[in-house]
Amino acid sequence: MNPVLEPLFRTVRATHPKADLRLIERAYDVAAYHHRDQKRKSGDPYITHPLAVATILAELGTDDETLCAALLHDTVEDTAYGLDELRGDFGDTIGSLVDGVTKLDKVKFGDAAQAETVRKMVVAMSRDIRVLIIKLADRLHNMRTMRYLPEHKRHQKSRETLEIFAPLAHRLGMNTIKWELEDLAFAMLYPKRYDEIARMVSERAPRRDLFLQEVIEKVHGDLREAKIRAVVKGRPKHYYSVYQKMIARDVAFDDIYDLVGIRVLVDSVRDCYAALGTIHARWNPVPGRFKDYIAMPKFNMYQSLHTTVIGPEGKPVELQIRTHAMHHRAEYGVAAHWKYKEEVGAPGPTGKVKPGSDMAWLRQLLDWQKETSDPGEFLESLRFDLSVSEVYVFTPKGQVIALPEGATPVDFAYAVHTEVGHRCIGARVNGRLVPLESRLGNGDTVEIFTSKSPDAGPSRDWLKFVKSGRARNKIRQWFSKERRETAIEAGKEAIGRAMRKQGLPLQRLMSGEALLALARDLRYPDVSALYAAVGEGHIAAQAVVQKLVASIGGVDSAEEDIAETSLPTRLRGRPRGGGGAGVVVAGDADVWVRLSKCCTPVPGDEIVGFVTRGHGVSVHRADCTNVQQLKTQPDRLVEVSWSPSDDSVFLVAIQVEALDRPRLLSDVTRTLSDQHVNILSASVTTSRDRVAVSKFTFEMGDPKHLGHVLKAVRNIQGVFDVYRVSGAGG
């Protein structure tokens, strides 16, 4: 046997003892032969990649056909080895798997032109789910070795991973792969946020580990007394999930991280409920935090009991209680089916998902791709559907329907049937009449009232509150077919209104040529289609106006207005001359000079001067965004140079980016005042992803002092980046 395969075979023997090792070795030999002259970006022989992908899959316990396809997955695309030859050597099943993965390799995630290929992935998944499992393992190994790619490629791949691949792994219940993909992509896309969370985790780890050990010992002792065999262990914390919880629950890091997580593994379902009773007998449960996913499994076959109790020292403790088989499925998802084939809804011998299995989501996706003509819309729906969790509601006859979190009776109506959605006029939830925009909760029973009128149809307002991709698509389709004329008028009016608001010349901008050129740029066939898109809410009227203005060279004379948003830095009795500003103009020492506020230049920066009308010379940094516009009037540019005196004071603008928490702003301002800087202005915005961006403008006599200021601010807890901003746009 080839010694290179020994680690792989050791894993295969442990997870899939009946696998055909000779077949796997033959697949390796063929792949190694055809990839023999190829190298990866890292300089390693190319065969190391298929081997690593096969090893990841072996750890999941997949079957020998999947392992062979993993070893051969790049041969058809990257070598002279053809698909027909591969089918002849290894049979149709392995040939189909390799073909499916090869097609997936061509899938690009991004704009509408590329989004069409996402359909291939959906179709390939529906035919044989193993295609996607191989692709996920392939992406995982690529993410582990991503550092050898250029930066723009790393960012693009990481974004795809967070938006598409990690949520797909979650949908398939493959949590081990999902967590690692998320952490790798998070570290690549937001290295500073990742490092800050890692730093905060490591600082608190020792204290937290002691508390965790105490809880584990108490739980273990109680279960032993109750004669329940159990494995009790701490749950690993993944940096990206910590960050996501901070965003979702809108709380600070400490409140998330101090929440201790425990996992209890028992032998049977009966023991799960017995263990729950034992734990609730010791500690009081937190109301509303108990979830029974054993009786009501999640969409991805996940089963477990979740409860939160008030543990020692009054601190909350999260517990997950499940059987060993449930745990294996929670970690490996669909891939675990090969290990537990006797379970209901497992894939058949070919790995295809049987009708009636838990993969209903996949069938729903197939329906979508048939219904949705616009690939961009399909990709948007897929992204949204992957990113949300679900609620389960009942029809009056007791049928369970899964909907996205925050779904409304309208979403429910469209889930039942398109016509029910279109004709929906009211709803009763748990026997009570409710508004159509009400949010549904787990376990609600929903009854829909429909209109008998032949003219009945959805309301445009529904688009503001529906949550499911299906409902949104169906409503848009209805309007695009039935209400195109109305949409065109509404769009035309909205664009005109946006122009009048800004006092723009309507006649000039609404001319046929300018609008037609813009429609073509935005990939609309004609101006009517552009108006309709605005009317239906696909594109904002304001965005169209901005693009129109840009296309005709911007609003006249705006350049100088933008450039001159500047204030004199320091006048103090010196209305003329450049000494107070620390700048002199070549050939004329007695000119009033002011440092432009748009880019706040300080000694050491390369600068240019611009003669303004009645306001002396404004000084900009050479790399200021406004200088490009000023260069169109070269006769007004003058040479300037630094000549700071003891009483010169300079404006400096800095930007602080931090993970949001209470008292963050007061900590930053206190640190700045400790550094003896005089703050002139401050602004703070907090984004939806829990990042607080603060901008401070302050006076400073010696620009060399700036390095110490930045260092002091960087050491504040939660701050992951601080830098000087070089212009109005940062």
Q: Tell me: the pLDDT tens digits for 86-135?
A: 888 888 888 888 887 775 555 444 444 344 445 555 555 556 777 878 88
| Rounded distance between C-alpha atoms, residue 602 and residue 724, angstroms | 11
Distances in Å between the Cα of 637 and the Cα atoms of 209, 558, 640, 644, 726 are 64, 18, 9, 21, 20
Average of per-residue pLDDT across 214-232: 89
* Predicted local distance difference test score (pLDDT) of residue 665: 87
Looking up tokens 């969370």, which residue turns up?
197
Average of per-residue pLDDT across 208-230: 88
Selected catalytic residue, list 77, 371, 374, 380 = 77
Nearest CA among 419, 365, 315 for reference residue 171? 365
* Predicted local distance difference test score (pLDDT) of residue 70: 87
For 217, how many CA atoms within 13 A lie in the half-sphere containing its CB? 7
Reported confidence tier of residue 377, pLDDT bands at 50, 70, 90: low
**pTM of the complete model:** 0.61
Nearest CA among 693, 694, 691 for reference residue 196? 691
For 442, how many CA atoms within 13 A lie in the half-sphere containing its CB? 12
Four-point Cα dihedral 393, 398, 400, 401, nearest 10? -60
| Rounded distance between C-alpha atoms, residue 579 and residue 601, angstroms | 15
Reported confidence tier of residue 656, pLDDT bands at 50, 70, 90: very high
* Predicted local distance difference test score (pLDDT) of residue 321: 93
Q: Out of 20-29, 106-115, 651-660, which region has the weakest mean confidence (pLDDT)?
A: 106-115
Which of 12-21, 155-164, 376-385 reaches the highest mean pLDDT? 155-164
| Coil, strand or helix at 187 | helix
Kindly provide the b/e burial profile for residues 277-290, where b requires at least 16 CB atoms within 10 angstroms of the residue's own CB: ebbeeebeeeeeee
Average of per-residue pLDDT across 363-369: 57
Q: Tell me: the pLDDT tens digits for 583-614?
A: 877 766 667 888 887 777 888 788 888 888 76
Q: Tell me: the pLDDT tens digits for 334-345?
A: 655 544 433 333
Whether 78 is catalytic is yes
* Predicted local distance difference test score (pLDDT) of residue 340: 40
> Does 41 have pLDDT greater than 70?
yes
**Greater confidence, 77 or 717?**
717
Q: Out of 259-268, 463-472, 490-499, 643-652, which region has the weakest mean confidence (pLDDT)?
A: 643-652
Report which secondary-structure segment, H or E, holds 188: helix 175-189
Selected catalytic residue, list 78, 292, 482, 699 = 78
Average of per-residue pLDDT across 451-471: 82
Structure tokens at 187: 């570290």
DSSP lists the bridge partners of residue 233 as 263
Q: What is the mean pLDDT of the chain?
A: 77
Structure tokens at 143: 């993410």
* Predicted local distance difference test score (pLDDT) of residue 273: 92
> Does 274 have pLDDT greater than 90?
yes
Amino acid at 246: M
| Rounded distance between C-alpha atoms, residue 320 and residue 266, angstroms | 11
| Rounded distance between C-alpha atoms, residue 629 and residue 562, angstroms | 10
Reported confidence tier of residue 266, pLDDT bands at 50, 70, 90: very high
Kindly provide the b/e burial profile for residues 243-271, where b requires at least 16 CB atoms within 10 angstroms of the residue's own CB: bbbbeeeebbbeebbebbbbbbbbeebeb
Average of per-residue pLDDT across 348-365: 44
Looking up tokens 């601010």, which residue turns up?
713
Q: Out of 123-132, 260-269, 653-662, which region has the weakest mean confidence (pLDDT)?
A: 123-132
Average of per-residue pLDDT across 418-432: 88
* Predicted local distance difference test score (pLDDT) of residue 256: 67
Average of per-residue pLDDT across 353-361: 43
DSSP lists the bridge partners of residue 657 as 693, 721
* Predicted local distance difference test score (pLDDT) of residue 272: 93
Nearest CA among 715, 716, 688 for reference residue 243? 688
Reported confidence tier of residue 412, pLDDT bands at 50, 70, 90: very high
| Rounded distance between C-alpha atoms, residue 592 and residue 617, angstroms | 6
* Predicted local distance difference test score (pLDDT) of residue 639: 84
CB contact at 8 A, 576 and 591: yes
> Does 378 have pLDDT greater than 70?
no
| Rounded distance between C-alpha atoms, residue 688 and residue 250, angstroms | 9
Instruction: Give first-to-last CA distance, the chain, whole Å.
Output: 60
> Does 382 have pLDDT greater than 70?
no
> Does 356 have pLDDT greater than 50?
no
Q: Tell me: the pLDDT tens digits for 166-184?
A: 877 877 777 788 888 988 9
| Coil, strand or helix at 411 | helix
**Greater confidence, 569 or 5?**
5
CB contact at 8 A, 718 and 242: no
| DSSP code of residue 581 | T
Average of per-residue pLDDT across 370-398: 64
Residue partners of 395: CB distance under 8 A and separation at least 6: 401, 416, 445, 446
Amino acid at 33: Y
Q: Tell me: the pLDDT tens digits for 299-316?
A: 666 788 999 888 888 888
Long-range contacts of 161-164 (CB under 8 A, 24+ apart): 161/185, 162/186, 162/189, 163/109, 163/383, 163/386, 163/387, 164/109, 164/118, 164/382, 164/383, 164/386
